[in-house]
Chain A
């Protein structure tokens, strides 16, 4: 009789499961740290006017596209999907853009803004779950979806659909999307577009490498709950790329609306020269990750932005 005995020892018992790195370890810090313009174009802000989507008026899309200096936008498109039904349709991702039957192009051009019509959409036959709309317009531009309280809200039927924006800059493509209610039977109420407000930026016209610059944006109106985003070509933003409202300037005889101020500080790199672009962006609320209205932003994107150039020499 012959017997074989084989005994193996593996020192790393846990090795079977492999090595795992942190899942999504970077999120959501990127909102505050990814403020530099890079070689990859990005769409960082959008605005659809008017923000409550309906066939009542033509729609206009504007967007802030960050790209290296000198690179030009060559094509921009906007599309939606899921508009072909007469029942409420709620689509929460972008996969339907893969389906040619669901895809609905809205506009295409070589520059912004894009003007387009509300897509042809069957009249909703069965409104299974009407939205209760109660806008406090126009002063505070607050939204209160789902608030069925004392204000006798309007009931309205709508689709919840994505909008996909594709911008071609050079040979690269930047994508952005937005989710909103689409009212085939007309907007129950309308919101103020932030395009209507006064929005300004204060930055020096010139600077030297290594300088620390004081920056500020000012929005005329009460936007103390707003979030401010900053983007620069280079340098370090001492207060990160996301700030809140730092100062409220009450209404006065000279300033009927009052004003909201947000500040930041930029350290210019020692090796930088030439034009340094600075962008300030404001949106109401805080978006999904910053505790604002977040996912309740059921109107279309409604942001405002402004650019200032600093000559570094």
Chain B
């Protein structure tokens, strides 16, 4: 088994003239902390013959001359496990980053790498994920190719895991909770890819330090790699442009700044206006829907002492889906008439169907002592979610025709005490911590204003507060790793209080050479979002969601560079919040009328399944890939005993990703995704003979499915090396088979056939990357 998590070969940094020499610049760092490692002995071998060796300096860096072609890079450090990897070196300059792990930790060099101290954590290599076609270059979105992750509606981009709901996945940036991770419709994550070091993904069985979410956690980390000298990057594509800059002011002081702004709406407006103009209309008669978003990120890190780091981070995200309706010149004055709503004093801007934002500022102190580590931080900032769409395709997220605003303040501390003795081995520890979250929020229900602009906005305010504390032992001895833990969470919301005990237990044992069995059992709890329980928008009776999770599995290395990770899982969820539509008959001015309204139900959830990840990275070969297969079921049972599939019940899911390095610096890669169709509630056509039309009658909740989903994406890439510049051109083709996987679907006239209204067609993306 490879003792380190990964090493990756980045693009050559400069070209040299000698075709028989490969100049290596190697950066050695600690996998978990990202701290540079000095004194690591790095050896380059050709076969069994040592070509050259050197030792990393205090910055973790070393220069080494080797030979082009297939070589073995070996890293030795007394405090870390041995590393030995195969690499294909180019003539000229090469740059390698090596990340070492402490000894006795179980790990695998796979794209979703399991780490010894958490049974179900996977850490995703960004560089490999960026090669996955069809993600529009977003590595976070590529998590959707991993086992246990359901394929969400393309407009949502959520990470829906192991039969839970979308709201049961928590999103974090460097450990800080954020309200949302993906931009509406586009699905691009809010973190600018250039700053992402890796992604922690917990599909379940989260350790005690994670909580207030019942299923999964996605932690995008930007702080595990040390900031080098000065780097800048500019990224542009048809959706947006971003600029990022990082600079080491002094060896102990670094700064990073990044921003992104979308311009897809400008293209869409221009295309719509041209189309209208060509049909004889005026540009202001164009009607279109467009995403508009922006992101910003900045942090300053100061290493105050050799063991203490102080950092200040700020993060901002704005996400809109805008509907621009056509204007007309009814009065013939040559100017477009204003919209009718422009004269009304509405509490929202009608074109902003989706309008979300958040700002976070965080101050953090990290202490890294020989025995005791801790991380202490406080973050605060405003946030908003607005959804005017109601039950349309985005309704599974955010409020229903309403808006939620608030300010979230979090204080958190994590402590880790290293343990080592006659029984316990290095890597053992006691971890504990607490988190306090205060969130005054306001929910506004616009439903009545839709019908009557003068109506009052039903407004609910609440002061949400959560306090969690946890302690967990992480014991390594012999072939065993055992981690019992206990977390307690106290919730206060909607006039209620609730105390939730959350025992956690994980275990792993080495059973053979490079093979492990593992298991996890734990209880989790989560407060329902205010948009689910607010008066008017939601159901005020919703209690705290809870879940028991259990999983067992095995992982290990197979011959020829293959590796396998597998698990079976079970989830028992209570008070899970799902949305249904219910008839509401109410008195309207003396007449009882009916209306179909959303209703958030607290239901029981049952999920179970099996997932397998086969990672293929043969030694001495020029291809890699993985196969991810999941069988899972997600059932919901309401108070009346009605049993129905969850919104993301997709029994079968298969993803195959592969890449092949061709001669002359060509690389091709492909991705195939096939999943069961997503459940939906069918509608039957009921003929009204007297009036000769078909009325609607809803069937059982989620009792029908969309057609099976299939998508094939391919990518081809060519790199040229010049004196000081590397050029890379690529073609990324999304949905090469042009399959009409529905985004929106409706029925034909008599509701006998489901017809696709909208789908994403074949999308080719041509790109050029220049680095110097």
Q: Produce 1/0 per residue, A80-117, CB < 8 A to B.
A: 00100101111111111111001000000000000000
B691 touches A19 (CB 8 A): no
Chain A minimum-CB-distance residue to B290: A16
- Complex Cα distance, B376 from A100, in Å, reads 54
Q: Which of A6, A12, A91 contacts B769 (CB 8 A)?
A: A6
Q: Which of B691, B757, B772 contacts A297 (CB 8 A)?
A: B691
- Complex Cα distance, B351 from A117, in Å, reads 51
Interface residues of B in 751-765 (CB under 8 A from A): 752, 755-761, 763-765
Inter-chain contacts of A164 with B (CB < 8 A): 686, 697
Q: Which of A6, A16, A90, A288 contacts B235 (CB 8 A)?
A: A6
Inter-chain contacts of B348 with A (CB < 8 A): none
Q: Produce 1/0 per residue, B264-289, CB < 8 A to A.
A: 10011011000000000000000011
Inter-chain contacts of A10 with B (CB < 8 A): 237-238, 763-766
B630 to chain A, nearest CB (A): 27
Q: Are A14 and B271 CB-contacts (below 8 A) given A1-B232, A3-B233?
A: yes
- Complex Cα distance, B175 from A145, in Å, reads 67
A102 touches B585 (CB 8 A): yes
- Complex Cα distance, B237 from A283, in Å, reads 60
A15 touches B761 (CB 8 A): yes
Q: How many A-B residue pairs have CB under 8 A?
A: 231
A112 to chain B, nearest CB (A): 14
Q: Produce 1/0 per residue, A1-45, CB < 8 A to B.
A: 111111111111111111111011011101100100000101111
**B562 interface hit (Cβ, 8 Å):** no
**A46 interface hit (Cβ, 8 Å):** yes
Inter-chain contacts of A171 with B (CB < 8 A): none
Q: Are A82 and B746 CB-contacts (below 8 A) given A91-B593, A287-B692?
A: no
Inter-chain contacts of A177 with B (CB < 8 A): 686-688, 695, 697
Q: Which of A3, A19, A21, A45 contacts B234 (CB 8 A)?
A: A3
Inter-chain contacts of B767 with A (CB < 8 A): 6-9
- Complex Cα distance, B291 from A207, in Å, reads 63
- Complex Cα distance, B685 from A68, in Å, reads 19
B351 to chain A, nearest CB (A): 16
**A294 interface hit (Cβ, 8 Å):** yes
Inter-chain contacts of A45 with B (CB < 8 A): 689
Chain B minimum-CB-distance residue to A177: B686
- Complex Cα distance, B236 from A45, in Å, reads 61
- Complex Cα distance, B687 from A179, in Å, reads 11
**B479 interface hit (Cβ, 8 Å):** no
**B768 interface hit (Cβ, 8 Å):** yes
**B690 interface hit (Cβ, 8 Å):** yes
**B50 interface hit (Cβ, 8 Å):** no
A15 touches B760 (CB 8 A): yes
A173 to chain B, nearest CB (A): 8
B350 to chain A, nearest CB (A): 20
Which of A6, A27, A43, A90 is the most central at the interface, judged by chain B CB atoms within 10 Å of its CB?
Answer: A6
Q: Produce 1/0 per residue, B691-719, CB < 8 A to A.
A: 11101111000000000000000000000
Q: Are A128 and B759 CB-contacts (below 8 A) given A10-B238, A289-B693?
A: no
- Complex Cα distance, B693 from A273, in Å, reads 32
Inter-chain contacts of B271 with A (CB < 8 A): 13-14
**A178 interface hit (Cβ, 8 Å):** yes
Q: Are A129 and B590 CB-contacts (below 8 A) given A19-B740, A102-B585?
A: yes
Chain A minimum-CB-distance residue to B640: A100
Which of A1, A82, A94 is the most central at the interface, judged by chain B CB atoms within 10 Å of its CB?
Answer: A94
**B542 interface hit (Cβ, 8 Å):** no
Interface residues of B in 5-24 (CB under 8 A from A): 13
B13 touches A2 (CB 8 A): yes
A295 touches B590 (CB 8 A): no
Q: Are A7 and B236 CB-contacts (below 8 A) given A2-B771, A93-B594?
A: yes
B689 touches A11 (CB 8 A): no
- Complex Cα distance, B743 from A21, in Å, reads 12
- Complex Cα distance, B769 from A2, in Å, reads 13
Inter-chain contacts of B758 with A (CB < 8 A): 17-20
- Complex Cα distance, B749 from A24, in Å, reads 7
- Complex Cα distance, B288 from A85, in Å, reads 45
Inter-chain contacts of A27 with B (CB < 8 A): 749
Q: Are A8 and B237 CB-contacts (below 8 A) given A2-B771, A19-B740?
A: yes
B583 touches A99 (CB 8 A): yes
**B230 interface hit (Cβ, 8 Å):** yes
Q: How many residues of A sit at the interface, in one of the four size bands?
A: 35 or more
- Complex Cα distance, B748 from A15, in Å, reads 24
B728 to chain A, nearest CB (A): 9
Inter-chain contacts of B270 with A (CB < 8 A): 13
A82 touches B585 (CB 8 A): yes
A126 touches B233 (CB 8 A): no
Q: Produce 1/0 per residue, B576-613, CB < 8 A to A.
A: 00000111010101111110100000000000000000
A290 touches B761 (CB 8 A): no
Q: Is the interface of B mostly helix, strand, loop or mixed?
A: strand
Inter-chain contacts of B233 with A (CB < 8 A): 3-6
**B231 interface hit (Cβ, 8 Å):** yes
A95 touches B698 (CB 8 A): yes
Q: Are A23 and B746 CB-contacts (below 8 A) given A13-B271, A95-B583, A178-B689?
A: yes
**A77 interface hit (Cβ, 8 Å):** no
Inter-chain contacts of A85 with B (CB < 8 A): 585, 592
**A303 interface hit (Cβ, 8 Å):** yes
B745 to chain A, nearest CB (A): 10
**A175 interface hit (Cβ, 8 Å):** yes
B162 to chain A, nearest CB (A): 29
Inter-chain contacts of A295 with B (CB < 8 A): 691
Q: Produce 1/0 per residue, A158-172, CB < 8 A to B.
A: 000010100000000
Q: Are A21 and B755 CB-contacts (below 8 A) given A2-B772, A87-B592?
A: yes
Inter-chain contacts of A13 with B (CB < 8 A): 238, 267-268, 270-271
**B515 interface hit (Cβ, 8 Å):** no
- Complex Cα distance, B583 from A209, in Å, reads 52
Q: Are A17 and B289 CB-contacts (below 8 A) given A3-B772, A301-B690?
A: yes
Chain A minimum-CB-distance residue to B186: A16
A88 touches B769 (CB 8 A): no
**B680 interface hit (Cβ, 8 Å):** no
A6 touches B592 (CB 8 A): no
**A176 interface hit (Cβ, 8 Å):** yes
Inter-chain contacts of A90 with B (CB < 8 A): 591-594
**B252 interface hit (Cβ, 8 Å):** no
Which of B687, B767, B772 is the most central at the interface, judged by chain A CB atoms within 10 Å of its CB?
Answer: B687
Chain B minimum-CB-distance residue to A99: B583
- Complex Cα distance, B291 from A85, in Å, reads 47
Chain B minimum-CB-distance residue to A227: B692
Q: Produce 1/0 per residue, A177-200, CB < 8 A to B.
A: 111000000000000000000000
**B623 interface hit (Cβ, 8 Å):** no
B684 touches A287 (CB 8 A): no
- Complex Cα distance, B300 from A97, in Å, reads 61
- Complex Cα distance, B239 from A5, in Å, reads 16
Q: Which of B268, B684, B770 contacts A14 (CB 8 A)?
A: B268
Inter-chain contacts of A96 with B (CB < 8 A): 583, 585, 594
**B750 interface hit (Cβ, 8 Å):** yes
A303 to chain B, nearest CB (A): 6
Inter-chain contacts of B288 with A (CB < 8 A): 17
Q: Are A5 and B770 CB-contacts (below 8 A) given A11-B764, A290-B692?
A: yes
Q: Produce 1/0 per residue, B218-256, CB < 8 A to A.
A: 000000000001111111111100000000000000000
**A54 interface hit (Cβ, 8 Å):** no
B750 touches A30 (CB 8 A): yes
**A302 interface hit (Cβ, 8 Å):** yes
With A34-B750, A99-B583, A164-B697 known, 11 other A-B pairs at CB within 8 A are: A2-B13, A5-B769, A8-B765, A8-B767, A9-B237, A12-B761, A20-B758, A43-B689, A90-B592, A92-B593, A177-B688
* A-B contact list, 9 entries, CB within 8 Å: A4-B234, A5-B769, A8-B236, A8-B765, A16-B238, A16-B267, A34-B750, A99-B583, A287-B691
